[in-house]
């Protein structure tokens, strides 16, 4: 049944896929063709103590971590672009001419569109317009995914692909992977109750997070929560002792990680409000 179903996520760094790792594991097990695009290797990320990496080697280390995480969730296709991580907003790395933030948007969109035409996803997933928390690479990949969603099916867009033997492909739904506001609030309350300091970047996050009403789709991944944790642990360089994740007890995290939430943002098949399946309503090409 799932042999022609295809799911694609468009992200920026190794570990961005953590918000959807349970869904990816779930659909991979059902035989869905799964693809993740990573716009950079995350060279500018942190290096947790004890991890054998330097700023020079971090890109390679994080690529290996991403491959480890991908293997855990049974991912079929991982694409990594050659752009450099742009770093958090306002940092000097934003100005590096090799970085994703400085790249031409149409050039990035062409690369994503090519992969859409290769892997033929009915369903695409990316960041919301704010990239979750304003990271310039997240915003760039969001824009490229949005363009690719509308352009991949249009023969006038990037006609060189067609000359190279690819066909146009029309994805049916594009989701943003978002956390509802109440989940943020619960998270902050938990930290406060435990007497843990809320990091600067997280203050105000609750207000910025989208209201629960925008969530159209909740995927039950409780069966995959342990696998989700294992795939997260692959990203060892990003799990220093001061990160919020490291401060949450395993049981709490496992219970938080049982449901992944999405907002249907672009659709060629009407609206959605209370779905439990990203492929709800999808009609496979050539089938009725
Ligand atoms: Zn990221």
Q: Which of 109, 87, 110 is nearest to 99 (CA)?
A: 87
Query: How many domains in the chain?
Result: 2
Distance 50 CA to ligand 1 centre (A): 22
| Residue 288 pLDDT | 43
Do 191 and 80 share a structural domain? no
Do 188 and 143 share a structural domain? no
Per-chain residues with Cβ under 5 A from ion ligand 1 = 12-13, 16
- CA atoms 146, 147, 152, 155: torsion sign: positive
Distance 42 CA to ligand 1 centre (A): 8
Distance 15 CA to ligand 1 centre (A): 7
32 within 8 A of 6, measured Cβ to Cβ: yes
Distance 165 CA to ligand 1 centre (A): 33
CATH code for the domain of 16: 3.40.50.10320
* pLDDT tens, per residue, the chain with 288 residues: 456 999 999 999 999 999 999 999 999 999 999 999 999 999 999 899 999 999 999 999 999 999 999 999 999 999 999 999 999 989 999 999 999 999 999 999 999 999 999 999 999 999 999 898 889 999 999 999 999 999 999 999 999 999 999 999 999 999 999 988 887 788 788 888 888 777 666 666 666 678 889 999 999 999 999 999 999 999 999 998 777 677 777 777 777 789 999 999 999 988 888 999 999 999 776 544
Kind and range of the H or E run holding 31 = none
Residue 194 domain boundaries: 180-214
- CA atoms 118, 121, 127, 128: torsion sign: positive
Distance 25 CA to ligand 1 centre (A): 20
Do 150 and 20 share a structural domain? yes
Q: Is residue 234 classed exposed, middle or buried when 0-12, 13-18 and 19+ CB atoms within 10 A define those classes?
A: buried
Do 130 and 194 share a structural domain? no
Do 222 and 105 share a structural domain? yes
Q: What one-character-per-residue DSSP string does 75-88 give?
A: -SEEEEEEEBP--S
Distance 193 CA to ligand 1 centre (A): 28
Q: Which two tokens stand for residue 45?
A: 């990320």
| Residue 284 pLDDT | 76
Q: Which two tokens stand for residue 250?
A: 């395993």
Distance 155 CA to ligand 1 centre (A): 32
Do 185 and 70 share a structural domain? no
Do 122 and 82 share a structural domain? yes
The reply to whether 189 falls in a domain is yes
Do 30 and 137 share a structural domain? yes
The reply to whether 1 falls in a domain is no
Q: Which two tokens stand for residue 30?
A: 């059902």
| Residue 3 pLDDT | 63
The reply to whether 288 falls in a domain is no
Do 231 and 251 share a structural domain? yes
3-state SS assignment for residue 82: strand
The reply to whether 247 falls in a domain is yes
Rounded CA-CA distance 84/102 in Å is: 10
| Residue 285 pLDDT | 65
Q: Which two tokens stand for residue 234?
A: 């692959």
Q: Which two tokens stand for residue 35?
A: 């693809």
Rounded CA-CA distance 75/33 in Å is: 8
């Amino acid at each position: 049944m799932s042999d022609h179903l295809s799911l694609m996520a468009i992200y920026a760094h190794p570990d961005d896929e953590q918000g959807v790792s349970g869904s990816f594991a779930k659909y991979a097990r059902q035989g869905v063709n799964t693809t993740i695009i990573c716009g950079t290797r995350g060279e500018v990320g942190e290096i947790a103590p004890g991890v054998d990496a330097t700023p020079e080697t971090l890109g390679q280390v994080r690529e290996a971590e991403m491959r480890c995480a991908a293997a855990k969730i049974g991912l079929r296709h991982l694409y990594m672009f050659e752009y450099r991580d742009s770093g958090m907003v306002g940092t000097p790395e934003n100005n590096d001419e090799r970085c994703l933030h400085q790249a031409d948007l149409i050039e990035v969109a062409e690369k994503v569109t090519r992969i859409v035409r290769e892997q033929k996803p009915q369903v695409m997933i990316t960041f919301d317009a704010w990239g979750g928390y304003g990271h310039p690479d997240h915003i760039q990949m969001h824009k490229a995914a949005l363009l690719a969603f509308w352009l991949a099916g249009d023969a006038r867009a990037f006609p060189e692909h067609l000359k190279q033997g690819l066909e146009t492909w029309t994805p049916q739904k594009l989701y943003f992977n978002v956390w509802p506001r109440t989940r943020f609030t619960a998270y902050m309350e938990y930290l406060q109750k435990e007497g843990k300091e809320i990091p600067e970047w997280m203050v105000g996050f609750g207000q910025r997070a989208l209201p629960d009403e925008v969530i159209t789709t909740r995927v039950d991944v409780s069966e995959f929560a342990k696998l989700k944790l294992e795939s997260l642990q692959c990203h060892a360089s990003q799990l220093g002792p001061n990160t919020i994740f490291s401060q949450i007890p395993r049981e709490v995290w496992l219970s938080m990680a049982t449901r992944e939430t999405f907002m249907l943002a672009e659709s060629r098949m009407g609206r959605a409000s209370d779905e439990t399946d990203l492929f709800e309503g999808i009609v496979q090409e050539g089938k009725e």
